[in-house]
Structure 1
């Protein structure tokens, strides 16, 4: 399943024609990760698809959120034998230039899958896109959506951290996080990292097109601490037979997070994941938390569920 990921994503990058710096900074694709994808074995181009398989539209989409754990969720679901994982960050429903290419173009980016498998793609940008909900609904109004969220304040800092390191690696100037979070003593609401953490604003748009029952929210903080319970909930939501077990995960003391064990192989998320966050001025941090608190309460009411966010 997972061997389709590298080729398909590289194919997307080539078609988009987007420069690496653009993909890195705007969409959270780490430069080392991109290099790894580009250096991967390209023999799949000429490989015939396995007999009995076909390319199908996804039956489920991981719609976000950026820096919420979408990559971890996709990799962990890919353990399941009845999951066919597509390229990450396909950007069909949120990029107008891709959406204009049509549904057949989109489906051609999906992996070959067997009839008993569920095709899943993930693009974190969908959650915050104004157009993605309506477009996905037009494709399949009964599709099952996966939304992985984490503490929105921590998500802001993680968002900053990724862009910070990407800019350093591209020899671009960087700013302290406080200078981006606050302007003239007030929160800088034009800062995209803050906008992405207004979960209540974005979920309203999705609930205009999909009932809440079709959106399963994965607790990204819980997934990091103990992956199995969250993945079992996803299996149940997707009507998949329970195949993911505790032995599929082991805690890597060096990296500080869980890694994956399947098909006789062990693998961890890329070293760019789990980077240490910068220390943030406490008064600025409290200002951000206070602002997000009311948005969190509204979000809890909308999804009829609470999370352990500070």
Structure 2
């Protein structure tokens, strides 16, 4: 089961969602990204429609969705799950439940963006924007109230820095002006809590919306920090959550010293995440880090109570 890595897709995935407050030109970045992603989605639809249907297969609405979080490790999780012979994955972020312009196209449009699969296989799509969308939980529930959801999270402060880093490099590559992270995170001497990267890390706020429509038993939380350091245990938990036989093994991973993270070995080939993944984070002023840690502390504790689980976050 081969998963096609398309460099252009990764660029689109990396550029989506650049916060407006990053600079006055932020909206331009988002607009360019939307155009690129819409083009990719259109091409993907054409590619899927031209595929020869293997006997006994059909396109199916996903039985599981990776709902987020942005910069939490969704791409790594999807590609690692793709190792499993009973999982097939959508090749692109669909943005069906969080973008009105896609949602109005209906379930048939959504289904046609899914790969062909056999009855015994589970179709998985991932769109990180779902977790922070106020619309996605109710819409997904309306499609399938018993669906199994995968949520991958990491330390919220690290997620903010990674979010900033993504936008920073995208703007550099586009020859657009950039700002140091301290000038974005701090405004008028105080933490800029309206910064979208910070808002995305308020896991308790977003989780409350999902728990209005889904039981906690339907949402499996993957520890993104652990997945990076030791993938297999986290993936084995996902296999159990999805009621799949254990097929992902330690031999499916090898540590790439050059890249500094685990790469995948399956189907007789080796592959690593795109070079845009694992970019070095900026050194952030310690005072700013302390302010972020302090701001997230109560939100983290509240989240732990909601999910009956704690994480090794600051």
| Equivalent residue number for residue 83 of structure 1 | 87
| Equivalent residue number for residue 130 of structure 1 | 134
Quote the offset at 1:67 in angstroms: 0.3
**1:5, 1:85 within 8 Å by CA — same for their partners in 2?**
no
Alignment of 1:1-310 (within 5 A): 1-3=1-3, 21-22=29-30, 46-310=50-314
* CA root-mean-square deviation: 2.8
Structure 1 Cα separation of the partners of residues 30 and 153 of structure 2: 24
Structure 2 Cα separation of the partners of residues 280 and 224 of structure 1: 21
Structure 2 Cα separation of the partners of residues 26 and 186 of structure 1: 32
Q: TM-score, normalised by structure 1?
A: 0.89
Structure 1 Cα separation of the partners of residues 230 and 260 of structure 2: 12
Quote the offset at 1:187 in angstroms: 1.0
Structure 1 Cα separation of the partners of residues 212 and 294 of structure 2: 28
Change over 3 Å in CA distance of 1:174–1:20 after alignment to 2? closer
Structure 2 Cα separation of the partners of residues 142 and 24 of structure 1: 36
Quote the offset at 1:45 in angstroms: 5.5
Quote the offset at 1:39 in angstroms: 11
Quote the offset at 1:89 in angstroms: 1.6
Change over 3 Å in CA distance of 1:146–1:223 after alignment to 2? same
Quote the offset at 1:49 in angstroms: 1.4
| Equivalent residue number for residue 16 of structure 1 | none
**2:48, 2:112 within 8 Å by CA — same for their partners in 1?**
no
Change over 3 Å in CA distance of 1:175–1:20 after alignment to 2? closer
> What are the ranges of 5 or more consecutive residues in structure 1 without an aligned counterpart?
14-18
Partner SS for 1:87: coil
| Equivalent residue number for residue 16 of structure 2 | none
